[in-house]
Amino acid sequence: MIDDEYKSQIVRKEAELKALQVQINPHFLYNTLQTMGSIASLRNAPEIKAMCKSLSNMFRYSIKMRDEWVPVKEELTHVRNYLIIINKRYGDILRTRIVVEGAANRCLMPKLIFQPIVENCIEHGLTPSGRPNKLLKLKVHADHDSGLLMVHIMDNGVGMASAKVEKLNGDLAASFSRSTLRKDDSIGLLNVQTRIRMLCGPEYGLSVASKVGSGTVVTIRLPLRGEERDV
């Protein structure tokens, strides 16, 4: 009986994980974007071609569902494709800095983690800011002493009040299933938190620090896994 219940829980978690990961079926959009890129090339529209190519790469990455874990460098490529599109949308007003320390590029991590957080920073932190120099920084570090892959995603946007930060961190700490998600600005963060905990365990995930007028830092704790150290 216990074995059956355990197997049922595993199957349910796997199904839930797939549902969280696949927001839409992008096959049709991917093929359409390929066609649009070809037309843009023929009509000498390089910016449209670049956007189509970046978005096509994002869709192609998202539909590769065979592996839940990917090298950090692949996640960063996915984010860079997203940032190409965003800079075309906003007219290159956003500066980005990506720092990967040591051999962290080769470490493994759950896929589709970085982009939702970066999007949240841009949409709710940087875009509403009147700051002329909008900066987004992503830093990845392999901490061998603690056995952690540490990621910091920082922006110098509008920031959040302490009460909102405390509530958000409370929601993140309690998040483990789709039922905890709400239709608000933090749904992307809660979605990512749920996936990390399903794949890695409850001791891993996100935390947020922020100050009004200064910006926000999202910290991600992941198990150190891959060429550097296997868990």
pTM: 0.76
The structure tokens listed for 216 are 């926000």
The mean per-residue pLDDT over the stretch 113-129 comes to 91
Answer whether 78's CB lies under 8 Å from 64's CB. Answer: no
Residue 111, Cβ density class (10 Å: 0-12 exposed, 13-18 middle, ≥19 buried): buried
- Is residue 92 over pLDDT 70? no
CATH number at residue 184: 3.30.565.10
The pLDDT of residue 180: 44
164 located within any domain: yes
230 located within any domain: no
45 located within any domain: no
1 located within any domain: no
115 located within any domain: yes
219 located within any domain: yes
26 located within any domain: no
Number of domains in the chain: 1
- 184-211 tens-digit pLDDT: 555 678 889 998 998 999 999 999 999 9
Residue 30's pLDDT band (boundaries 50, 70, 90)?
A: low
State the sign of the Cα–Cα–Cα–Cα dihedral 134, 185, 69, 54.
negative
The structure tokens listed for 170 are 């409370």
SS3 108: strand
Q: Which of 7-21, 93-107, 172-186 has the lowest mean pLDDT?
A: 172-186
108 located within any domain: yes
Containing structural domain, residue 151: 94-223
- Is residue 71 over pLDDT 90? yes
